[in-house]
Structure 1
Amino acid sequence: MTEARAATGLLVSALIRRIEAGGGSAMVLARGDATAGAILIALADRGADGPLLERSFGLDGYAWRETGPADPADRPAYLAGRRRTDPDLWIVEIDHPDARRIAMELLS
């Protein structure tokens, strides 16, 4: 029996509402497949770039892992390359001090 999963577009919308309700800001930089696209989050805190997190499915279910370049100046090229190889990928930028915790609670 397979477990029912929420559509990616619905999860992204819920994440954005939760971040904004907590005083943060969130923006979809790239819209992926509404049903089953992967999610990549660009974290920030008061405008200072944080890590990139990617939600992926493995043997134990969904997990978050840091991905991408260490230097924020290299992010645009990295994100553009990821979209070229995976057009279903959602990229969401979040500016909130607890963005990582909120994303992990909501999307894990």
Structure 2
Amino acid sequence: MAVAGIIRAAEAAGGFGAVLHKGEREAGTILVVMAERGANLRLFELLPDPERGRVWTCTRQQDPENPADFSEYLDRRCSRDPDLWIVELDIADGERFILRQGFLG
């Protein structure tokens, strides 16, 4: 399963990974929340790109002035899509980590 692979790879690279929301095992969309030492939260989703197929794209960042908004957004996404998986990775250089690993969800 892609989620388990993402978490294992993050932990093997010295980071931490956890499932925040379990979705449909076979068909659920995967969102990745990236953190660095518990801060600077960013949300990545696989989105279509005409030149490269599906690519991980940062679609949201935590607002330091309103940190609760980020969690509320994730809650809304889960309520609209119960098949959704949300994985949190706390790892240095998180963006390059998922791009380098080639995870395609």
Normalising by structure 2, what TM-score?
0.82
Are 2:75 and 1:99 aligned?
A: no
Cα deviation per residue 1:1-33 (whole Å; 9 max; x = unaligned)? xxxxxxxxx111011001001111010000111
% identical aligned pairs: 41
Structure 1 runs, 4 residues or longer, greater than 3 Å off: 56-60
C-alpha RMSD of matched pairs (Å) = 1.8
Scaled by the length of structure 1, the TM-score of the pair is 0.80
Q: Deviations over 1:36-64 (max 9, x none)?
A: 21111111111212311112356553212
The C-alpha deviation readout for 1:57-81, integer Å capped at 9, x for no partner, is: 5655321222235413211110110
Instruction: Measure, in 1, the Cα distance between the counterparts of 2:61 and 2:97.
Output: 23
Match of 1:22 in 2: 13
| Residue ranges of structure 1 left out of the alignment (5+ in a row) | 1-9
Please say if residues 37 and 88 of structure 1, whose CA atoms lie closer than 8 Å, have aligned partners that are also in contact.
yes
- Structure 2 runs not aligned, ≥5 long: none
Q: How many residues align?
A: 99
Q: In the alignment, what sits opposite 1:67?
A: 59
